[in-house]
Structure 1
Amino acid sequence: MRSITRLVAAFALAAPLTAVPSVTPPAVAADEPKWRKLTSFRISPEAPHQNDVLRVLLHCPTEANHAILGSTAFMLKGSWRRYREVGVGLTGRNFGRRAVIISRYAPPGDHEVRMKCVKVSIHQPSGLRKVKVLSRAALPLVVREFHVGQYF
């Protein structure tokens, strides 16, 4: 084994030096617009009833590959958990959208919707996930009582 490495080293030293063009990564971070680093999300409708569907549009920083939404308004029927988290996948431009149902059993009143932009990496040999929180945002949400008249 040593003779092979010495032989390769001898050829490398004997070869004439040539100019190798420098390979530099493109300056993406310098030319990147400032809005790509921002964390924001929007919920519509702004004052939903119980048993409504919320449409969530969100944007995360460029390093993120996943987003997590959580609120007490998203609780499920028959569940003892008052706080529920919903995952949102991101597109190539780090936008995401998701429809979330407010249960009829969610308590009416003031709630807060929290969003975390995360970078999830998986160690392939062991299968362990590493979740790094990059940014957070929150919005207030007022859930109104269910009325049959909202469907007519």
Structure 2
Amino acid sequence: MGNCCRPHLGEDCIGAYEYNVCFDCMFFNIIFCCNRPMWSNSGCDAVKLKDPSWASGTSLRRSFEAALAGVDMKECINEAPRSCQSLDPCGTGCKNVQNMSPHLNATWCKETNDKMLHPAGFSCKAHHWITYGGKGERQEHMVIAINKYSGGL
């Protein structure tokens, strides 16, 4: 409890970008999450990229990071099914990684794989997991893992 151990992301995983659950709330993001972007390759859940094709400044990495920060990603996150709508005062429901991860895989990851990553020999996939703090508080985690791709997922 209270740790942030990510699950095994596969033998072919060469890195992973972590999702910032505070991103949508500017107040919480500034105070608790150091004003981090929606996705980053640093932090407890991320896996540092360890393939030369993904070195800092390479066109593949710049293109992928631009896609992570792009409008399509934001729309995909916002379009993911929500939970606890009856408890949300706005009636829009709560975002949760259990719904967002499969939605990302079916939409954004599929499109990004087809257009950008597969031609370069890589693929991406969203993974999520839940941990609980020392007082039982739920902590959601999600990453987009980058894997070597050999023609089949």
TM interval, short-chain normalised? under 0.3
- Asked which structure has the greater RCO (Cα within 8 Å, sep 6+), the reply is 2
Which structure is higher in helix share? Answer: 2
Q: Which protein is bigger by CA-based radius of gyration?
A: 1
Normalising by structure 1, we get a TM-score of 0.27
Normalising by structure 2, we get a TM-score of 0.27
